[in-house]
Structure 1
Amino acid sequence: MFKFDFQLEEEDEDVQIPSLPTPTAGPSTTRTAASIDPTQEKRSLTDAERCHDVSLDELLKSLPVEISYSPLYHSSLETPLLRRDLFDARFQLYNRAESTAHPDAAANSDPDPTGNRQTEQAGNAAEGDEYVDAQTDLIPGLYEGGLKSWEGGVDLVEVLNGVGVEGGVGEWVRGGRVLEVGCGTSLPTAYLLRSLLSIPPATTIATSTVKTTFHLQDYNSLVLSLVSLPNLILAALPFLPTEVLHAPDEEEDVEAVLPDLEQPGNIHITPALIEAFKALLQEKNVELVFTYGHWAGLAAELQDRNPKDSQRGAGYGLILTAETIYAEESHQSLLDVLRAGLKKGTKGIEHVDVGLEESLGDLKVGDEWKRRPLRDGGDGFVLVAAKVLYFGVGGGLQGFLERVKASGGWYKNVKEWVKGVGRKVVQVGW
């Protein structure tokens, strides 16, 4: 069993990737039917291959009354990025399992006379109970490691922080459509959302008709509710009214009890905070979309939304994915998603092969993708963050990139880290 030297969670926890057992249905499995290709006829999906959308309101209902968070410091960031603590997410899972073990109490508290919500909650709790105590970060077909923060997500944040358009990252992403595949803790999307919300109000008012969409996908629905959405809310905290940030029963001066957003702490998820968060999204014209399930289903759904004969400009201008290529069996499914989801723009993008020696160090100033806002009419592209090799699992970056080229795509290195386990961020497109 291989242990990563790089850890982002509690210092006393080992971040591990185990050897894979025989695959079952899930993102890390081989599909027996022909792969979904945007240029070919669709096929029927099995139940295990389907994906499902869940609304922001439904996810908000699943939030606890309080969450614990810690700042993620990085040399490329002026202020730390907040993320929910892993132990806090696990504690919520334990509480879910406990409430499921007492169905009478759940029935008395559930206003839904059909019992559908009880059934769904029981299913989610059972799902979480399967992996919350597991001594592994990967259970193929059940849990794909989404509760933890992995270094690839932080690498994407560092790369995105290097965008050089006037007005910064927020202006670059404003009006764009972004999909994060296998989002887990959603650190890259949280960073983009925070950057967008930081745009001065005067600029926002002048361009409020331009919608920005962030679409987050993970295999597990519980990952979306336990860490993905909470981290987006934490990213928005600096821009919410101060009166919604303090404990609901505090009688002290509000300014004296406001949380320090650069230190570990707790935030009460009150109805007032939730409404303020939704109002902020509406004010900034931000749409949040959430999907869980298999990549085969996601590829089919994206193909329906963005058919090959649709008008140019449909699809996503940026697709992000980190630490999702560790199993070779999943490469084709992931490629199907990336190809089906990419926007085909009204302007082309220059595809230049870049040698390894040219890609080391900081991002090249000449990279076109970082100089053109996502709302412009260029082709969409993908940023893939991955380890060069996933020991004990079988996957690796080179094998994935060979599949990209075989499918008619292109790639170039964006940035590389050679200390410890080798890692890269690579730009991919078709």
Structure 2
Amino acid sequence: MFKFGFCDEEKGDLPGQDIDNASGTCGPNRPALQEHAILGPPVSTQESELVPLSLCGQKMLFLNGDLVMLRLQRQGMAGDLGRASEAHTDLIPDVYEGGMKLWECSRDLVTFLSAGEPLEGRHVLELGCGAALPAVFCLLRGAASVTVQDYNREVIDHLTVPNLRLNVPESRLAGCRALSGDWAALADRLRAEPGRPRAHLVLTSETIYRRASWPRLLDAVDAGLADGGTALVAAKTFYFGVGGGTRAFEQAVLEDGRFSSEVVFSTKQGLHREILRLVRTT
């Protein structure tokens, strides 16, 4: 079942759960890229859906993804998210990629960023953002702008954008951007916009559980990252049942050749989790 908060690994609540069973339902067509308005009428939320979060000295307010999912289903607005909910899985590859769940590696990213990573005045891109906890934190700590992306448009419209609006003044959101769709389409869009500032910092968490998606992820990082920028990839060292994880991803980065990688954060609370820093090799 879906849970808001950070996953309880002892109960097997991990990205990749049920992927093998779900993969047979995946179609070949991934969603086209779509841009979503961030500013607009006041966000309509139900008080019961709001969850206060205090992290690294920053107080924030986030929507409970479980409850939002249930509301969307009642209203007939869940789209592909409803298929995952009915199947009691957090992921259906190329259909629903877990965006309504606030994964614990997002918290690791915030912890790392709060320890001294420069954020003031920086442009930030968060890939597979879901609840957008790191993006919100970056804006609250002085980032010039954020671009957030998730696979499903329902996630962006009903979780990501409301979370931004709940925590960040409108004046700080004017230069920000929200996109839904596949990483390959995102990379194409970013490369077609040479006049738009690229990101000094690219963030992504819990997105390397499936090897098949790695080339598209690395291409999106390459397209979105400014010269001299850095990317932070937060993930578990191994995802049981699917073969993804930081060790295998580091090898894929090496073989890709565009980036070098190093471990800059590690914790063994629960399952072993790390943050990798990627920088361009040329």
Pairwise same-fold verdict (TM > 0.5): yes
SS in 1 for 2:261: strand
Residue 22 of structure 1 aligns to which amino acid in structure 2? G
Cα distance in 1, alignment partners of residues 188 and 173 from structure 2: 27
Identify if the C-alpha distance between structure 1 residues 417 and 427 changes in structure 2 by more than 3 Å, giving closer, same or farther.
same
8 Å Cα contact 1:343-1:380 kept in structure 2: yes
**Which residue is 1:327 aligned to?**
210
Instruction: Show the 5 A alignment for 1:40-79.
Output: 48=30, 50-57=32-39, 63-67=43-47, 68-74=49-55, 77-79=56-58
SS in 2 for 1:56: coil
Q: Which has the larger radius of gyration?
A: 1
SS in 2 for 1:149: coil
Identify if the C-alpha distance between structure 1 residues 125 and 19 changes in structure 2 by more than 3 Å, giving closer, same or farther.
closer
Cα distance in 2, alignment partners of residues 184 and 8 from structure 1: 13
Q: 1:8 aligns with which of 6, 19, 39?
A: 6
Q: Which runs of 5+ in 1 are unaligned?
A: 27-46, 98-123, 165-171, 197-210, 237-279, 345-378
**Which residue is 2:160 aligned to?**
228
Identify if the C-alpha distance between structure 1 residues 86 and 285 changes in structure 2 by more than 3 Å, giving closer, same or farther.
closer
How far 1:57 sits from its partner (Å)? 4.2
Identify if the C-alpha distance between structure 1 residues 128 and 19 changes in structure 2 by more than 3 Å, giving closer, same or farther.
closer
TM-score (norm 1): 0.57
Give the aligned CA root-mean-square deviation in angstroms. 2.8
How far 1:9 sits from its partner (Å)? 6.7
8 Å Cα contact 1:51-1:298 kept in structure 2: yes
Identify if the C-alpha distance between structure 1 residues 385 and 23 changes in structure 2 by more than 3 Å, giving closer, same or farther.
farther
Cα distance in 2, alignment partners of residues 302 and 52 from structure 1: 13
Q: 1:407 aligns with which of 246, 250, 256?
A: 256
**Which residue is 1:140 aligned to?**
93
How far 1:94 sits from its partner (Å)? 2.5
How far 1:392 sits from its partner (Å)? 0.8
8 Å Cα contact 2:36-2:156 kept in structure 1: no
SS in 1 for 2:175: strand
**Which residue is 1:87 aligned to?**
66
How far 1:96 sits from its partner (Å)? 2.0
Identify if the C-alpha distance between structure 1 residues 398 and 138 changes in structure 2 by more than 3 Å, giving closer, same or farther.
same
Cα distance in 2, alignment partners of residues 192 and 286 from structure 1: 15
SS in 2 for 1:331: helix
8 Å Cα contact 1:49-1:295 kept in structure 2: no
**Which residue is 1:22 aligned to?**
24
Identify if the C-alpha distance between structure 1 residues 25 and 51 changes in structure 2 by more than 3 Å, giving closer, same or farther.
farther
Identify if the C-alpha distance between structure 1 residues 89 and 327 changes in structure 2 by more than 3 Å, giving closer, same or farther.
same
Cα distance in 2, alignment partners of residues 80 and 285 from structure 1: 18
Taking every aligned residue pair, what percent have the same amino acid on both sides?
30
How far 1:69 sits from its partner (Å)? 1.5
Identify if the C-alpha distance between structure 1 residues 96 and 64 changes in structure 2 by more than 3 Å, giving closer, same or farther.
farther
How far 1:285 sits from its partner (Å)? 7.0
**Which residue is 2:274 aligned to?**
424
Cα distance in 2, alignment partners of residues 220 and 212 from structure 1: 25
Q: 1:129 aligns with which of 82, 90, 101?
A: 82
Residue 51 of structure 2 aligns to which amino acid in structure 1? S
Cα distance in 2, alignment partners of residues 304 and 213 from structure 1: 19
Q: Which runs of 5+ in 2 are unaligned?
A: none
Instruction: Show the 5 A alignment for 1:252-267.
Output: none
Q: 2:225 aligns with which of 342, 355, 361?
A: 342
**Which residue is 2:192 aligned to?**
304
Q: 1:383 aligns with which of 224, 232, 238?
A: 232
**Which residue is 2:246 aligned to?**
397
Q: 1:281 aligns with which of 170, 173, 195?
A: 170
Cα distance in 2, alignment partners of residues 146 and 23 from structure 1: 18
TM-score (norm 2): 0.85
8 Å Cα contact 1:338-1:382 kept in structure 2: yes
Which structure features the higher share of strand residues? 2
SS in 2 for 1:131: helix
Cα distance in 2, alignment partners of residues 23 and 400 from structure 1: 25
Cα distance in 1, alignment partners of residues 27 and 198 from structure 2: 27
**Which residue is 1:290 aligned to?**
178
Cα distance in 2, alignment partners of residues 8 and 412 from structure 1: 25
Instruction: Show the 5 A alignment for 1:97-246.
Output: 97=76, 124-163=77-116, 172-196=118-142, 212-236=144-168
Cα distance in 1, alignment partners of residues 185 and 261 from structure 2: 25
Cα distance in 1, alignment partners of residues 88 and 173 from structure 2: 42
Residue 406 of structure 1 aligns to which amino acid in structure 2? E
Cα distance in 2, alignment partners of residues 87 and 135 from structure 1: 12
